[in-house]
Amino acid sequence: MVRSDTEHEDKAMTMNATTAPTATGTGRLLAGRRAIVTGSTSGIGLGIAEALAEAGADIVINGLGDLAAIEETRQALARRFQVKVQFVGADLAGAAGVEALIGEAEAAMGPTDILVNNAGIQFVSPIEEFPAAKWDAIIALNLSAAFHATRAVFAGMKARGFGRIINIASAHGLVASPYKSAYVAAKHGVIGLTKTVALEGAQHGVTANAICPGYVWTPLVEKQIAEQAAAHKISREAVIRDVLLAAQPNKAFATTAEIGALAVFLSSRNGASITGTALPVDGGWTAH
C-alpha cells in the first residue's frame, strides 16, 4: 500500500480498517515533524521543546534573554536529542515580530507541522491600579501573538493536510482570580481562538487545542510570588500555601515535563480526533 503523506488522507484511507489505532509507545513519535515553540528559552516552553525534540521533531525555539545562554540551550537540545534546533529571537509583542518568527523559522527549517503558542507574561494588580500599558502588553503577547502565528501557518497546514496548533492557555482560561484582569481575559480569549481554529481546521487534518496548566514551577511563577506578597501584604510562604496552591487540590506544582508530554501526545497521530478542547493540567483546581 502506498502510504500517503498526510494524516487527513491516511484517516480516509483507513476508515474501514479493522486494526486499532497505534499505541503511543515510547518511540520517536514525531520523527520528521517540524515544530515552532514560542517563548521556549525558559519554563514551560523549554519543557515542551525538550519533549518534542525527545519525540524526534526538529524545533525552532524562540524567546528573550541572554543570547549566550540561549545558544547553550539550543546546542544542548540538538546534541541530547539528535534533532535540528534553530533559534529565532523575534519579539512577539507585535504582529510584525510574529510574522518574522514564522518567516525565519520556515526559511530555516521548512514548513511548520506543529505550532505551540506558549510565550506569555503576567502582571498582578488590583484593577483600579492596573496600568493600561500592562493590559495592552499582556493582550498583545498572550492572545494576539497566538492569532498572528496561527494565521501565518494555517494555510500551509491545511494545504498539506496536517497540522497541530497547541495554545498554552491556563486554568485562568477557565476560571478567574482577583488582580489578574488582563491575564484572565487573554487566556479566556485564547480558548475562544482555539475553538474557532479547531472548527476551521477540522476537515483539513489540522487540530487546535489549549492546554490549561494550574501552577507550574517556572520563573514566571517565581516572579508572581513577590508581586502577590506585595498585593496581599503577606509572606512568601503564605503566598505559596494560601494563594498559589490554595485552589489546587493536590497541593503540588505541575511540572514542565508533564505539559511537554501532553503536547507530544496532541502532536502525534493518535491526537487526531482531539480538537477544540481546553485540557486542564491543574491538580483538580478547575474541578471545584
Shortest distance in whole angstroms from residue 136 CB to ligand NAD: 12
* CB-facing half-sphere around the CA of 97: CA atoms within 13 A: 18
Classify residue 43 as left (phi > 0), alpha (psi -120 to 50) or beta: left
Q: Give every CB contact of residue 251 below 8 A, 6+ residues apart in sequence.
A: 245, 283
215 is catalytic: no
Q: Which is nearer to ligand NAD, 62 or 207 (CB)?
A: 62
User: x/- string (CB under 6 A) for ligand NAD, residues 201-240?
Assistant: ------------x-xx-xxxx-------------------
The DSSP bridge pattern shows strands 34-37 and 114-117 to be parallel
Helix (H) or strand (E) holding 54: helix 43-54
Could you tell me which residues are beta bridge partners of residue 23?
none
Q: Does 246 bind ligand NAD (CB under 6 A)?
A: no
Query: 164 by DSSP, 3-state: which?
Result: strand
Q: Does 119 bind ligand NAD (CB under 6 A)?
A: yes
Q: Which of 7, 8, 41, 138 binds ligand NAD (CB under 6 A)?
A: 41
Rounded Cα distance between 132 and 118, Å, is 23
Q: Does 257 bind ligand NAD (CB under 6 A)?
A: no
Q: Does 120 bind ligand NAD (CB under 6 A)?
A: yes
User: x/- string (CB under 6 A) for ligand NAD, residues 163-192?
Assistant: -----x-x----------------------
Q: Which is nearer to ligand NAD, 162 or 253 (CB)?
A: 253
Q: Does 100 bind ligand NAD (CB under 6 A)?
A: no
Q: Does 248 bind ligand NAD (CB under 6 A)?
A: no
Query: How many other CB atoms are there within 10 angstroms of residue 17's CB atom?
Result: 8
Rounded Cα distance between 122 and 202, Å, is 32
> Near ligand NAD by CB under 6 A, which window of 8-16, 37-45, 79-87, 267-275?
37-45
Classify residue 216 as left (phi > 0), alpha (psi -120 to 50) or beta: beta
**Contact residues for ligand NAD, defined by CB under 6 A:** 39-45, 62-65, 91-93, 118-121, 141-142, 168, 170, 213, 215-216, 218-221
